[in-house]
């Protein structure tokens, strides 16, 4: 197969790729023309969800430290509980909600809102609690701050220990779910607004043609 035939064979894919890049560029330019509040919500909204996730991580960390009577390594345990949930929440929301919306891959508003709510609740709310449990368990074992059971009662012990923390964190999980719902709803609405502007700017050209 010659190089020319290879390029011709690949041309539909290349055209699709170029059309996608052009669409992304147009959407980016349209976004820059929107009010500053809409721009900040689209570009930095996931950071707010991530910041709330960090707060959930720090709160869960403090609850487990109190239950397990861990008094040492406060900074060592707090730092990852603030950083890891923030980065995880922002990354997952960007990949599965914001980018698909503005790439035109997530046109269903209900789907976007459900995704946003699930990511807010699971990654932004529950994940920090699950992350805090093994970290504080290892600290409790290392510093012998709390008597730990044998292997036969290990699962029951940690389930009993985690239950009050999950109950206390239930409000945080709900807030995160609502925050994810709100962000996805607003960002999808902004995307629709951009599409309407694109159609409005295209109509006069089509009429002249």
pLDDT per residue as tens digits for the range 188-207: 999 998 888 877 766 544 43
pLDDT-based confidence at residue 19 (cuts at 50, 70, 90):
low
Residue 135 has pLDDT above 80, yes or no: yes
Residue 155 has pLDDT above 90, yes or no: no
Q: State residue 66's pLDDT score.
A: 93
pLDDT-based confidence at residue 169 (cuts at 50, 70, 90):
very high
Q: What is the dihedral of CA 98, 51, 81, 114, to 10 degrees?
A: -40
Q: Is the pTM of this model over 0.75?
A: yes
Q: State residue 55's pLDDT score.
A: 96
pLDDT tens for each residue of 92-130? 999 999 999 988 888 899 999 999 999 999 999 999 999
The packing angle between helices 109-118 and 154-208, to 10°, is 150
Which helix (H) or strand (E) segment is 141 a member of?
helix 127-143
Domain ranges of the chain: 41-201
Rounded to whole angstroms, how far apart are CA atoms 13 and 185?
32
Residue 56's closest CA among 168, 162, 163? 168
| Long-range pairs, 9-16, Cβ under 8 A, ≥24 | none
With 0-12 / 13-18 / 19 or more C-beta atoms within 10 angstroms meaning exposed / middle / buried, residue 109 is middle
pLDDT, the chain, mean: 85
pLDDT tens for each residue of 49-81? 999 999 999 999 999 999 999 988 889 889 999
First to last CA, the chain: 41
């Amino acid at each position: 197969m010659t190089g020319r035939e290879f390029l011709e064979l690949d041309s539909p894919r290349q055209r699709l790729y170029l059309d996608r890049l052009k669409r992304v560029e147009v959407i980016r330019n349209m976004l820059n023309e929107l009010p500053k509040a809409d721009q900040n919500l689209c570009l930095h909204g996931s950071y707010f969800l991530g910041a709330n996730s960090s707060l959930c991580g720090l709160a869960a960390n403090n609850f487990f430290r109190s239950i397990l009577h861990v008094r040492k390594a406060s900074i060592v345990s707090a730092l990852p509980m603030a950083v890891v949930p923030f980065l995880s929440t922002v990354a997952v929301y960007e990949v599965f909600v914001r980018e698909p919306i503005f790439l035109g891959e997530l046109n269903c508003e209900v789907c976007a809102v459900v995704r946003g709510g699930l990511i807010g609740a699971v990654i932004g709310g529950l994940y920090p609690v699950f992350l805090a449990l093994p970290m504080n368990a290892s600290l409790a074992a290392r510093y012998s701050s709390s008597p730990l059971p044998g292997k036969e009662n290990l699962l029951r012990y940690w389930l009993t220990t985690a239950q009050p923390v999950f109950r206390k964190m239930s409000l945080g999980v709900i807030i995160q779910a609502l925050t994810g719902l709100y962000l996805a709803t607003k960002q999808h609405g902004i995307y629709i607004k951009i599409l309407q502007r694109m159609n409005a700017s295209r109509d006069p050209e089509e009429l002249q043609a």
